[in-house]
A and B are shown apart, each in its own frame.
Chain A
């Protein structure tokens, strides 16, 4: 044992040195292009290779399942039941028609069979409703070698397990430390850079520097997550004096958008690391941070945003009107606050590809740190960003209609389902006023006819 000692320390030293050199080379190789906004296309190549491997993995699992004569559990993203979209009136009329043999020139007021409509609709929502599934991660149709997304464990062959093990090794022992190092660099550069810029006198040079410091650090963070982003229609990018609205899936949305443009952030003041970052950022250029108590005061919020927007020298505001993270299969109700301000709205649609790593932040399940770790141990974050043409509120539209119009445009572009439900349903129950709509519709059917009858 004593003879091995000198050898041991030599080997350990060599290993240590070579690892450090490798690491530093990698860091430099990644950070320098980030500073200049250049890309070597390595990430795209990585993405293509991964896709091929995933397709192979799913085929193996299907084969494994066939051998055992079972069916693979395939999740359906569009709902598990067959529905036909008919209105309340049409369906009840059809039910009545199928039940009675007499000619229906005079629609009867009420039939015992009317209950079938409500009963079936209710059961359909119990089996599958539009909202509940938006608050859990999207299910994949093919496996991406992450244990967190596998539904068919019993069909994994030995080869597949080995591949999975290799994947774990690569992700946790190589990619994760690299990414953490990059993230650390990025965040510290941001804090240091913006603080330094903050000492400069106000003027064009300061603005220029602050923009570029922000941009550089966001780019490093993008590489820290191995985010492969495709931007579309970049000519529509938000300009000063405007408001940029986007659908919200995770806190990473901010990094993705801010690495391709200059924005002023809006948000609540946090403590801890986030607070440090926020305080540093605001030294370099004006962001809008609210105290916790101010957030409740809608007028104050609107006033500060309006002031910011009116100053054409300030950067466009970035806002996520859904108010909460949705799982990127749908867009939920936009809160009307940002649409009342009267500035030009630049809608942006963000669609993640869940194959490489699910970016959705399920805040009821994971805290921020767990979420970031999960992100950094996924393969990559792949997404597409579409900049939609700017819109302004029309004269005859109110804020809610305007918000819905923007929401539909974003949903259409991103291929997401456009829902009228409030994202707040994640935590609260729906209001009773919506039930009245249904009741009104039904009452018109049975009482409207009653009045006709009594008249004739």
Chain B
């Protein structure tokens, strides 16, 4: 009876995904629909190219960094659960998340710390847990393209690393990063609300 239906039963491991990401059944259905729309050749997983086909992402200066975040550890495919796990970082923080959480359970993916961690790894190209001056320069170069000279960019990178670096090792660790953004309303700026 038609192969285009999107049923909850079709999503593999839907309950464990729901628990891990905190997305509601309705949201997961929508995201699954989206996953299948992006998966043009019906492979069951997404490759880098599937994400690169999105026009609006290709014009984003950090598009490649964002795509990289879906393929950790050099993998070449991302299945639906991996896809949703990344998107879960952007789920808005709701009351039930912060209220009575069991401290033994791992932190929800959309907590403030995890959102910061996600932003941090966009800067941290070699995933060593520190943003070096060189990495800062490279990411800045992605954001400005050819519009800014090397000297200007270097001075900007130097200043930024200096301001955030507290223990003087010439690099910004995650804790220093989080500290410099402690006043930021991360919840609002790094959240995307899915319509019910």
Q: Which residues of A contact B (CB under 8 A)?
A: 70-71, 73, 75-76, 79-82, 95, 98-101, 109-133, 136, 147-154, 421, 425, 429-430, 434-440, 442-444, 446-447, 450
- CA gap between A149 and B3 in the complex, in Å: 10
B60 near A118 with CB under 8 A, answer: yes
B177 near A112 with CB under 8 A, answer: yes
**Given A119-B119, A439-B144 in contact, is the A125-B192 Cβ separation under 8 Å?**
no
Q: Considering only CB atoms and an 8 Å cut-off, how many residues of chain B contact the other chain?
A: 66
B108 adjacent to chain A (CB < 8 Å): no
- CA gap between A200 and B172 in the complex, in Å: 86
List A contacts of B4 (CB < 8 A).
Answer: 148-149, 151
A115 near B54 with CB under 8 A, answer: no
B152 near A127 with CB under 8 A, answer: no
B26-37 to A contact mask, C-beta < 8 Å, 1/0: 100111011001
Mind listing 7 A-B residue pairs with CB under 8 Å? A81-B194, A118-B66, A120-B189, A127-B87, A128-B34, A131-B55, A154-B9
B56 adjacent to chain A (CB < 8 Å): yes
B148 near A446 with CB under 8 A, answer: yes
B76 adjacent to chain A (CB < 8 Å): no
**Given A80-B34, A132-B37, A439-B144 in contact, is the A127-B192 Cβ separation under 8 Å?**
yes
A113 near B181 with CB under 8 A, answer: yes
Point out the residue from A76, A111, A132, A443 that lies within 8 Å of B54, measured CB to CB: A132
B60 near A443 with CB under 8 A, answer: no
Residue of A112, A114, A118, A151 ringed by the most chain B CB atoms within 10 A = A112
- Tell me the nearest residue of chain A to B49, going by C-beta: A429
A123 near B147 with CB under 8 A, answer: no
Point out the residue from B38, B52, B60, B177 that lies within 8 Å of A438, measured CB to CB: B60
**Given A150-B1, A447-B152 in contact, is the A119-B51 Cβ separation under 8 Å?**
no
B192 near A446 with CB under 8 A, answer: no
**Given A118-B62, A120-B189 in contact, is the A110-B160 Cβ separation under 8 Å?**
yes
A447 near B7 with CB under 8 A, answer: no
A125 near B56 with CB under 8 A, answer: yes
Give A82 Cβ to nearest chain B Cβ, in Å.
Answer: 4
A438 near B61 with CB under 8 A, answer: yes
Point out the residue from B55, B140, B147 that lies within 8 Å of A110, measured CB to CB: B140
- Tell me the nearest residue of chain B to A91, going by C-beta: B189
B177 near A118 with CB under 8 A, answer: no
- CA gap between A331 and B19 in the complex, in Å: 40
List A contacts of B134 (CB < 8 A).
Answer: none
List A contacts of B57 (CB < 8 A).
Answer: 122, 125-126, 129
Other CB < 8 Å A-B pairs besides A130-B56, A439-B146, 4 of them?
Answer: A70-B25, A71-B26, A95-B189, A120-B191
List B contacts of A112 (CB < 8 A).
Answer: 123, 160, 164, 172, 177, 180-181
Give B188 Cβ to nearest chain A Cβ, in Å.
Answer: 8
B123 near A437 with CB under 8 A, answer: no
A116 near B143 with CB under 8 A, answer: no
Task: Please name the 5 residue pairs, one residue from A and one from B, whose CB atoms are nearest each other, closest first.
Answer: A439-B145, A443-B147, A99-B184, A125-B56, A122-B66
